[in-house]
Chains A and B, each alone.
Chain A
Amino acid sequence: MPADRVGWHTVDSSQTTILAGSNPEVHMSQSYDRGLVENFGRWTEFSAGMWAWVFHKFTGWVLIGYLFTHIAVLSTAIEGASMYNGTLQGLEALLIVRFMEVGLLAVAVFHILNGVRLLFVDLGLGLDAQDKSFYASLILTGAIAVASIPTFLGGAF
């Protein structure tokens, strides 16, 4: 999981002080800090909105990571046509890259669809259907990813 998820199951001491109120020392000895209970050990108890958040964060990390590598790969254009064409076609010849592109499409489609869902939530529209719209995003993402497989793998074998 991306680094931002780690905090769900780690507790720093400063936080304990905040929660404990004015006299941390007394509280430390008299009360019990259970830490962050909703860690991934309890994933079965997560609700739709929490899953949407987890997936949106995860796909977001993938996309920003991809943006950096994308610009790096395209930078070969500065070196001239043979370098650029060679690099792109060399990468496209790798089967693993084709599969990763399907993954990238799935990630992008989910981020777009759930992003639209979040924009509606920001506008205060359809809040009662927020769980259904998340499930719809998931299903649609799956369908689009599966449907795109022939296009992405075309000519790879």
Chain B
Amino acid sequence: MAEHYTSFSRDDTRWLLQRVTAVFLVGVLAFHFMLLHFVHHAYEITLAGTTARMSQPGYFITMVSFLIAGTFHGVNGVYNALVNQGIEGTPRTIVKYGLIIVSLLLIAQGIRVAWAMTGGQLI
């Protein structure tokens, strides 16, 4: 008992986070689809409209969280799939860090785009 580790071990952290992001994504993905395909039709979208939405702090934060949660959920899912595939050793380490780098790049680019979409009108 005394020897029991007190830290959150990594596998259950990832398992739990995958579920927590899932709950968030279920709502936001449905909202996103409704808003940009049914409320506003995709073919009517212009930068002006996008800027009007992105300039609202709540919307901006929601979309950035959506991006981060979606990237984690998706990339973690890909990693899990590859682990199930039996990837081990060096290839696994390479894939792991490769996926982390790709995720960070995607999030960085996403935030850059989101920022550009605000047209400097945020806040």
Mark A residues whose CB is within 8 Å of B: 2-4, 6-7, 12, 15, 57, 60-61, 63-64, 67-68, 71, 74-75, 77-78, 80-81, 84-85, 88-89, 92-93, 101, 105, 108, 112, 115-116, 118-119, 122, 148, 151-152, 154-156
Contact = CB atoms under 8 A, between A and B. Distances in A.
Given A78-B113, A88-B45, A151 B30 contact: no
Interface of B: 19, 22-23, 25-26, 29-30, 33, 37-38, 41-43, 45-48, 50, 67, 70-71, 74-75, 77-78, 81-82, 84-86, 106, 109-110, 112-113, 116-117
B110 A63 contact: no
- For the residues of B in contact with A, the DSSP-based class is helix
B121 to A, nearest CB: 13
Given A2-B81, A74-B113, A78-B112, A15 B86 contact: yes
Contacts of A93: 43
A67 B113 contact: no
Contacts of A92: 42-43
A119 B70 contact: no
